[in-house]
Amino acid sequence: MATVIIKRLAKSPFVLITVFSHSCCFFLHSQISLQIPLSIILNNRDCSLLKNLLYPCFDVTKGKSHYGVGGGYHHFSGRDASRAFVSGNFTGDGLTDSLHGLSSTEVKSIVEWREFYFRSYTFVGKLVGRYYDSEGNPTKSLKGVEAKAARGTQLLEKQKKEEAKQPGCNSRWSQGEGGEVWCDDGFPRLVQRPLEIALTGKMSKRCACFTEDQLSEPGLEVYEGCDYLSKTCRV
């Protein structure tokens, strides 16, 4: 059985939330808890239009065309499918609240989505489970998620400062001609992004511009097919 702790909406004395079959809703107001069977629909509110993200619940009725049956985001309604915000897997096991194995930047992105829903929709309560206990308090899992997101923010800021020391290349792409990179001052080289493993769990490279006297530094990679002192390279 899943339990939802909810608060009173400004324009409605009751809220009905469908999370799973055989679930119950709890209306909390003035220290009074009222248990409401799911078979009751109050004030003609569409009970499917409640959305969870890291287990807060939001009333997304004003976005019914998106979150209602047949809408592009209907798979997010009535459940916490936080992982799908970054995985893109909107079926089966992908619609889960588990963030296990995600990178710090992916977790940061999900937390930012949660902030978007707080700004854009009405917060109605918290779903008891992985992220909130029966008193509505954050669990160890939620604290861990938020700490990982904060770490992602710190690493991104550090990466931004480090990469500002070595200017990036200009780039452009067209369907007819493909892509190219170039430097107004210096020569384009591929370099590793050392913080990327901590951020995303993967290695990646970026294009940066180096002066001629820097070209002997270790770790600089000439683009394939590009002359050593060319200022423009096809990619």
What is the domain range of residue 187? 166-234
Domain total of the chain: 2
Asked if 127 and 183 sit in the same domain, the reply is: no
Cβ neighbourhood burial of 224 (10 Å; 0-12, 13-18, 19+): exposed
Range name among 15-19, 112-116, 125-129, 209-213 with the lowest pLDDT average: 15-19
pLDDT band, very low/low/confident/very high, at 225 (cuts 50, 70, 90):
very high
**Co-location of 23 and 74 in the same domain:** yes
Query: Which range in 7-11, 57-61, 132-136, 175-179 is most confidently predicted, on average pLDDT?
Result: 175-179
Q: From CA 69, how far away is CA 49, in angstroms rounded?
A: 9
Same domain, 85 and 141: yes
pLDDT digits (tens, 9 = 90+) for 126-183: 888 888 888 888 899 999 999 999 999 998 898 888 888 899 999 999 999 899 999 9
What single DSSP character describes residue 115? H
Shared domain check, 223 and 148 = no
Same domain, 144 and 171: no
Q: Are residues 151 and 187 in the same domain?
A: no
What is the model's pLDDT at position 80? Answer: 85
Question: Are the beta carbons of 232 and 180 closer than 8 angstroms?
Answer: yes
CATH number at residue 126: 3.10.120.10
Q: Does residue 170 contact residue 224 with C-beta atoms inside 8 Å?
A: no
Single residue among 118, 136, 157 that ends a domain in this structure: 157
- Tens digits of residue pLDDT in 88-126: 998 889 999 999 999 888 999 999 988 898 899 888 888
Q: In this structure, are 146 and 198 located in the same domain?
A: no
Mean pLDDT of the chain: 77
Residue 86: is its pLDDT beyond 50?
A: yes
Check residue 72 and give its pLDDT: 87
Claim to verify: residue 218 and residue 190 sit in the same structural domain? yes
* Contact between residue 19 and residue 124 where contact means Cβ atoms under 8 Å apart: no
Cα of first residue to Cα of last residue in the chain, in angstroms, is 55
Q: CB–CB of 84/97 below 8 Å?
A: no
CA–CA dist 233, 47 (Å, integer)? 56
Last residue of a domain, one of 157, 191, 210: 157
Residue 31 scores a pLDDT above 60: no
